[in-house]
Structure 1
Amino acid sequence: MDFSGAYSADNLMFLLKGFLVTLEMAVIAIILSFVIGSLIGVIRYSKIPVLSQLMAVLVEVIRNLPLLLIIFFVYFAVPEVTGVEMSILTSAIISLTIFESAMIAEIIRGGLNSIDKGQIEASRSSGLTYVQTLWHIVFPQAVRRMVPPIVSQFISLLKDTSLTVIIAAPELMHNAQIINGSSQKFIVPIFLLAALMYFVVNYFISLFAQRFELKRT
């Protein structure tokens, strides 16, 4: 093991660049998947004819596919079928968003379904519209129950960015492998540092979620 050689200024900067790409992919995919997943979750909860059933099939198909397959499909198959060329990062973000949107949709739907139907009926009978009932009665209560699984899913998303190494996305694990390729003595220190980077970010996400949950109680 060569810690001093592995942690040279050039190697650390190269690893940091990869980590910044990891964070960029994760943040964009988190925002997009939350918006799309929330919309799909509400549609499924509302049981909109045809559209709800269509979303249910789509979600179940995506949830039961490995993320690696989705990454391959988006990067290789979509350009072949559509003729639209995408960059590696764009393909990676789209793949992560597709997969995570399905997961978030189920969390949203489950959280909304966990609210007692009697409260909804009482709200409607008091004159609130369906949208007002969702926004003022259902969502505030459901959010408390949805925060832990959503945060857990976002932590998983950050870790899942490492799978994009298969299409050579220049993220943390990709750059770690390149550094490791220059010397076998770097394998332990480099991957220890990469693990520490993942841990620190995920740990602070968990702390933020805990504080948010405490404020809402």
Structure 2
Amino acid sequence: MDFTNAFSWMNIRFLFDGLLITLEVAVLSIIISLLMGTLLGVLRYLKIPAVSKIIGFIIDVIRNLPLLLIIFFTYFALPQLGIRFDIFWSTVAAMSIFESAMISEIIRGGLISIPKGQTEAGLSTGLTKMQTLWYIVLPQGLRTMLPSIVSQLIALIKDTSLATIISLPELTHNAKIIYGQDTSYVIPMFVALALFYFVICYALSLLSKRLEVRLAK
């Protein structure tokens, strides 16, 4: 184990370059998956004839596929269909597709957990179905959804490491390059990876706890 040379300025800078890519992929995927997941979850909750069933089938298929397979599909298969992304956007697309399916089920489950009496009370006051959903059902459901959503987003951040398989220069990929040059750097790089991922994921979990407290008030 050579911690001194493993954490030279050049290696640290290379790790931070990878960390930046990891964060960019994670942030973009989180934004897209939250928007798409919420939309899909609401559409399934509304039980629109035919539409909800088709969406449900697609979501079930995606949820039961390995994320790695979806990454391969977006990077290797889509170009065969005339749709080309570079490594970065292939990763974002794959992560967003997979996480949108996961989050949509969390959203739908949270909405279903709200008693029907709440919806009926909103409709009886003259609100439309969409207004009732937006102002009454969704805010209450958010309290039960939040812990599961945060757990899924934490998993998303950790899953960005899978993109190393298509050579995305993210954190894990760059660490592999560093310890590939000298096997004495293996443990130092594993320590660095564990520290980086822990800090990011722990910060997100602390943020979610604060949000839970505010929502509970």
TM-score category (smaller protein): over 0.9
Give 2:35's aligned residue. 35
Matches within 5 A, 1:76-95: 76-81=76-81, 83-95=82-94
Give 2:139's aligned residue. 140
- Deviation of 1:85 after TM superposition, in Å, equals 2.3
Matches within 5 A, 1:49-68: 49-68=49-68
- Structure 2: distance between partners of 1:100 and 1:2: 38
- Structure 1: distance between partners of 2:84 and 2:214: 45
- Deviation of 1:210 after TM superposition, in Å, equals 0.2
Cα-to-partner distance string for 1:7-66 (whole Å, 9 max, x where unaligned): 000000000100110000000000000000000000000001111011000100000000
Normalising by structure 1, we get a TM-score of: 0.98
DSSP-derived class of the 1:30 partner: helix
Give 1:26's aligned residue. 26
- Structure 2: distance between partners of 1:118 and 1:145: 17
- Deviation of 1:84 after TM superposition, in Å, equals 2.8
- Structure 1: distance between partners of 2:175 and 2:20: 13
Cα-to-partner distance string for 1:107-143 (whole Å, 9 max, x where unaligned): 0000000000011112112211101101111011001
- Structure 1: distance between partners of 2:133 and 2:148: 20
| Residue type of the alignment partner of 1:176 | A
Where structure 1 has 5 or more consecutive residues not aligned to the other structure, the ranges are: none
- Matched residues, percent identical? 55
| Residue type of the alignment partner of 1:136 | Y
DSSP-derived class of the 2:207 partner: helix
Matched, 1:160 2:129: no
- Structure 1: distance between partners of 2:130 and 2:114: 15
- Deviation of 1:215 after TM superposition, in Å, equals 1.1
Aligned residues: 216
- Structure 2: distance between partners of 1:84 and 1:135: 36
Give 1:149's aligned residue. 148
Give 1:210's aligned residue. 209
- Structure 2: distance between partners of 1:105 and 1:215: 23
- Structure 1: distance between partners of 2:118 and 2:173: 50
- Deviation of 1:183 after TM superposition, in Å, equals 0.1
DSSP-derived class of the 1:169 partner: coil
- Structure 1: distance between partners of 2:118 and 2:146: 21
- Structure 2: distance between partners of 1:115 and 1:200: 34
Matches within 5 A, 1:97-176: 97-176=96-175
- Structure 2: distance between partners of 1:31 and 1:126: 34
Cα-to-partner distance string for 1:76-124 (whole Å, 9 max, x where unaligned): 001012x232110010000000000000000000000000001111211
Normalising by structure 2, we get a TM-score of: 0.98
Where structure 2 has 5 or more consecutive residues not aligned to the other structure, the ranges are: none
| Residue type of the alignment partner of 1:167 | I
| Residue type of the alignment partner of 1:22 | T
- Structure 2: distance between partners of 1:32 and 1:136: 23
